[in-house]
Chains A and B, each alone.
Chain A
Amino acid sequence: MKKNQISVLATAAFTLLFGMQSCKPKNAGNAVSADAAAKAYVAPGKYDSYYNFVSGGFSGQMAVYGLPSGRLLRVIPAFSVDPEKGYGYSEETKPMLNTSHGFVPWDDLHHPEMSQTNGEIDGRWVFGNANNTPRVVRIDLTTFRTAEIIELPNSAGNHSSPFITENTEYVVAGTRFSVPPDNVNGDVPINTYKQNFKGTLSFISVDKGDGKMEIAFQIQCPGVNFDLSHAGKGKSHGWFFFSCYNTEQANTLLEVNASQRDKDFIMAVNWKKAEEYLKAGKGRKQAVKYASNRYNEKTHTATSTIKTQVIVLDAKELKDICYMIPCPKSPHGCDVDPTGEYIVGSGKLAALIPVFSFDKIIKAIASKDYIGEYDGIPVIKYEAALYGEVKKPGLGPLHTEFDGKGNAYTSFFVSSEVVKWNIKDLKVLDRVPTYYSVGHICIPGGDSKKPSPKYLIAYNKITKDRYLPTGPELAQSAQLYDISGDKMQLILDFPTIGEPHYAQAVEAEIIRKNSVKFYKIEENENKYVSKGEGTTKVVREGNKVHIYMTAIRSHFSPDNIEGIKMGDEVYFHVTNLEQDWDVPHGFAVKGAVNSELLIMPGETQTLKWSPDRVGMFPIYCTDFCSALHQEMQGYVRVSPAGSSVPLTYSLGTNLPKETVKTK
């Protein structure tokens, strides 16, 4: 081959490679400016200024990140078991995952929503939805632990949830899948969707004092898919808005069949009116079965109660609760601006964003400006409810958050970008690319009355080439934008657990000051607590053996146990006697088929263990606790069934008697 031929080929190859590079959508290099690193930098030992609560998607958990660093601070187990913390494995936490279907150890958490007072984030709780087996979780933000999980009857796929009213009066749960109600025979042909399937909205009341959740009432609606929702605020307090798709009522190939109509609906729900009907006894009692699981901070123990009744209001009969507002092409996001006047519907197949006016909706209802009924629900004329449309904003609008300064920010899945627009004049002000295919976005307080608009975080569905490859499964990601100026600026990428959907963020100060450091041992009311080593013991009750054990740096008491026999059910009730911050102890026994325990200071947790063979079983502390952590261990001797080895327990007796005496 001639020399110049080679060079031509090389040039061609180079050009080809270079060309391929430049074909890549929106190369990252030119999207990041020089001061980005400084803006996201939080020096070692310094705290982040915001907490970011991000859904873990199919991991079933909720992750907590610091902003602007993107550092992962904690994964809070919610709907899925977590062997790292013993959640769902310890006897105390198992009831949290009980449902009417039995123990369900996983789910798909999509939307965190923080509790509010007067429309502002109050930092008390964060709620999350289970998208598979319909449930709502309440996480206590003093402990960052799951405090309660409630199951939802008459529902399937709790997607339109857990959005809240401005004083956390209610958490709502709109069913994604319409299904036959729980009290009728669901064994019907699938193609009888139109006759037999119903869509249910649950209004869960939240106790102002302790946060306890109850299903106050449900509203039975036509069979459609409820997608997302947000409560009215300020002037629209008392109303809730739900996006609906599949108003075609298709039961197969929804990708095509649920995309036929030019417009689906945003459903406006007058929940104050629903409350009146409830008081007037217009609801009907329906037999159902659902679990209500609560964790008691004093006993460190969860209890699961199966409840058997809900009160259902019929939207078709009680005509002035629900109203349909036409909304272009399969609306997804349904977001209310900080003033409560503007409701933004994002039709995910539409090339525009409709903005509805609350005042106009009320006026249209008063003057009955309807175009007809949808399965018994009045349908308001589109133009009568519409404030205006944002024209050609991008492709595939999904979700909108607000900055409290008159601007809205909408994510575009298909065109992979975030677009900033002005609510009043509906003009596009700025757009930035995301990498890639953004779903939800979050501004701290961005769906409340009082946003804190320093940052915007985009949660992407696809990362492709953004991180070092890790086989076929890649990290999903969040991207942080500085929105304090006129132009949005990308300053950081950070990977997330599971699939990030919605998120909430709040100034750190609101949460940080209330953080619990340890549980007071004096207040521990666990049935099996040992308050001091003097109270530790091993008690046999038939084939059940209860080991009352303590942990302190760095030993267990007792740490030698003999007389366990094959066929025994052994319960290790481990109390952590420490009374200081950041001193958990772990507990593990060889061959345990469930998990380890992680016991916070002052807490008691129980591991059930059924030995599967005769022999010697070491126990040890799994959480590095002190310079002598590696010495924190012991033995459990297992003898054959019927053995005459007596049940004994001790600490320190095998050392020479001169140095340490028998306890």
Chain B
Amino acid sequence: MKRFFLATIILVGIYSCGNQDGEPSSATVKSESTDNNSYDPNRGEGKFKTVDVSDKLNITMADKGLKIFSVKCSSCHKTTAEKLVGPGWTGVTKRYTAPWIMNFITNTDAMITKDPKAQAQLEICLVRMPNQNLSDDDARNLYEYMRKNDGVK
């Protein structure tokens, strides 16, 4: 119960954060008017609909992903199954689809606000994942690194 209460406070906090680019009030209106029935929990919400993924690992992309991981992700995530601030990355590409992961890491605030899996994770971690302002390429490269971490050769 206590945890639920905390999560509620945090979720309410999301609303008060508002839209960063526009008038804060318009952001509230926007999120309220979005039709939740159309939300695809497998894809998440964001600019990625489908992601072209080969069976084989793209080593160049995975190496680039590792560099981004070192600067922007490793403070909170381990590449093992251990939870640090956020969950460990082992198996992450098996638990979520490529578009879901790439949407979540680029459209973090919006996803934490409405995605059931992201909300469940927030209840465990209690720290909202920061938006680390990744480019589209960054997101794709990181995904490739996650695949490498999950054993794709």
Contacts and interface: CB of A to CB of B under 8 A. Distances in A.
A627 B2 CA distance: 14
A553 B126 CA distance: 11
Contacts of B6: 627
A534 B69 CA distance: 10
Interface residues of B, number: 24
Nearest to A658: B82
Contacts of A661: 82
Main secondary structure of the interface of A (DSSP, over half): loop
Interface string A540-570: 0000000000101111010000000000000
A652 B70 CA distance: 17
B10 interface: yes
The main secondary structure of chain B at its interface with chain A is loop
B82 A532 contact: no
Interface in B6-52: 6, 9-10, 18, 20, 23-25
A532 B71 CA distance: 4
Given A580-B132, A627-B6, A660-B84, A532 B127 contact: no
Given A521-B72, A533-B74, A554 B132 contact: no
Interface residues of A, number: 33
Contacts of A555: 75, 85
A552 B75 CA distance: 7
Contacts of A628: 126-127
A581 interface: yes
A103 interface: no
Given A521-B71, A532-B74, A533-B75, A579 B131 contact: yes
A212 interface: no
Contacts of B116: none
Contacts of B82: 659-661
Contacts of A578: 130, 132
Contacts of B84: 652, 660
Contacts of B85: 552-555
A554 B133 CA distance: 18
Contact of A553 (B9, B20, B130): B130
B75 A579 contact: no
B152 interface: no
B114 interface: no
A577 B75 contact: yes
Contacts of A46: 23, 25
B72 A577 contact: yes
A45 interface: yes
A626 B71 CA distance: 20
Contacts of B9: 627
B97 to A, nearest CB: 24
6 contacts: A531-B71, A555-B75, A579-B131, A579-B133, A652-B84, A660-B84
Given A579-B133, A660-B82, 15 more contacts: A517-B20, A532-B70, A532-B72, A532-B75, A535-B70, A550-B75, A552-B76, A554-B85, A579-B72, A580-B131, A580-B133, A581-B20, A628-B126, A659-B82, A661-B82
